[in-house]
Structure 1
Amino acid sequence: MLKSNFIITPSEPYVYVDGPSDKILTRVLKIALSLSHGNITTLIFHYNLFVSDDQLTYTAERCPRLKRLVMPAWNRIKKTGICKAIRVWEDLESLTMPSISNPPYLIEEIAKNCKKFAELKIMGPCHIYFASTLAAFLPNLKILSIRCSMIYKEALNIVLDDLKELEVLNISHCELIEKPPPSPRRVLRQLDESILEKARRLRKFITCMNDSCITCQRTRYDEGLMRWYKYEADFWKVDEVKSLAI
């Protein structure tokens, strides 16, 4: 799977991708998208492939029938770029994305343009703001995966209370935090009865908070922000929800 040749930088976008690497990606996209004749329905980008705004726009315009997008790295993508792409992808049903600090602009765009949208995977912390945004704009979401991440208890309660149409929720190997800052960080080692009661309405509630589980140990060691590069090459592709696995 294609990856960028990059270095981490201290300021936004926090990565620098060298010119030859960018040119290779552009060339691959041009060849692949030309051969597809607009019929691509699934796009999967490696978590270390840092697509630029121009590359994303080029891709979106040539994949109007896209149904599933897996793109864990958004460092170089601006608000205007992803929103422009979402407007093209009216058939989008599934998205795997990183956690973002200001989710309303994206989630509202999905709600307005992608009427078949049904499943979301967040590869990063699920904050209260993110959960509230999902409840506000995507109340009919069917499948949500937040595995191997940090999630606040209040955010989990919002998901369970307000996503009325939710059928499948995956919080396997998550760090469940009792309260957000400035409260002291307290990791809950098990789900309380109130959460379990709310989750009974779901068709499938997937959890794992086992001290002996290697994946749970990794999440705790990385403090809820998984460093995928430290582990097996295909580890980031795993999901207990079959439709979200790669």
Structure 2
Amino acid sequence: MKEGASTVRRWKDLDTDLLVKIFLCFDVLQLTLGIAHVCNSWHSACCDPLLWKTLDLSMLRSNFIKILLESYVYVDEFSDKALTCLLKISLSLSRGQIRTLIFHFNLYAGDEQFTYIAERCPHLRHLVMPAWNRIKKDVICKAIRTWRSLKSLTMPSIVNPPYLIKEIAVNCKNFNELKIMGPFDVLFASMIVRFLPNLKVLSLRCSSIVKDALLLILDDLPNLKVLNISHSLLIEGPLLSPVMLEKIIKKPDKIILEKAARLREFLTCIEHSCIMCQCTRSDEGFMRWYKYEEGLSKMDEARSLAL
């Protein structure tokens, strides 16, 4: 350059720390499919652990149709390949640093994809599960055995939850936060009481909750600190489908409130004008999240479970 001319620095010559701070402003799609492939220095910066504390894939959902055969969904080939490609790049860049992993409830991962995730995220602490349909029981159990540091789980509705709860109890000694996005009955409550006695935070928001199940939780989880039943339908008697309106309890009664008094936070909503309560009632306690604003399912009144 001529004497006196200003010095021009190229983007690829920026200090790695500066690049990382800039890259924190981008989402996983921009990082994995664009930025990481620009040049060697940008690729190296994209491997920084600061970028991979959380892998948020909640913007990614499967293109699927419902079918009658098990697993009851068919996911098209392009959708599957897109997920596999994104997982391979992001989990390669993250180098095992991911602590929080978030999936969309309409993402239907398969056995191979879920196994790949488990093997490359061995230090996972917080997990928001994808849909279960295409993941076999033994694959889920093997993953839980890998995630011994797991502390928090958000789980969509599952037909047979006991095996998962047992696996967590045996392998995840620090587990203490659970969010259930689906009906909550006495069987489910009894499994939690039996196998997760150290649970501290439980969210049942926007669900159908059997009153006896709620009482069981309040009586027999001595370490519980935060319980969220906001926007839920509290049901007298067993769960039925559809939920019978005459069985819905309008608000927690005196017995429930007395038992919940020991908690640090008992989060409820009894406002008849609440839009979320109206949605839960309209959906009969089994939320059809696809009908509502994107990201609404990630909200939670229990702060540690809000995404």
**TM-score, normalised via structure 2 length:** 0.78
Q: When the two structures are aligned, how many residues end up with a matched partner?
A: 246
1:99/1:126 contact within 8 Å kept = no
Aligned counterparts, 1:92-103, within 5 A: 92-103=150-161
Amino acid at match of 1:93: K
Aligned counterparts, 1:66-215, within 5 A: 66-180=124-238, 185=244, 186-215=247-276
Which of these residues, 194, 215, 222, is aligned with residue 283 of structure 2?
222
Cα distance in 1 for partners of 2:141, 2:215 equals 28
**Alignment partner of 1:242 is 2:303:** yes
**SS of residue in 2 equivalent to 1:26:** helix
Indicate the residue corresponding to 2:12 in structure 1.
none
Amino acid at match of 2:186: I
* Alpha-carbon distance, 1:12 to partner: 2.6
Amino acid at match of 2:268: T
* Alpha-carbon distance, 1:181 to partner: 5.3
5+ unaligned residues in a row in structure 1: which ranges? none
**SS of residue in 2 equivalent to 1:120:** strand
1:66/1:92 contact within 8 Å kept = yes
Q: What percentage of residue pairs aligned between the two structures are identical?
A: 64
Amino acid at match of 1:230: K
- Larger RCO: Structure 1 or Structure 2 (Cα < 8 Å, ≥ 6 residues apart)? 1
* Alpha-carbon distance, 1:101 to partner: 2.5
* Alpha-carbon distance, 1:3 to partner: 1.0
Amino acid at match of 1:132: S
Cα distance in 2 for partners of 1:11, 1:155 equals 32
Q: CA RMSD in A?
A: 1.4
Amino acid at match of 1:242: R
5+ unaligned residues in a row in structure 2: which ranges? 1-58
Larger of the two Rg values belongs to structure:
2
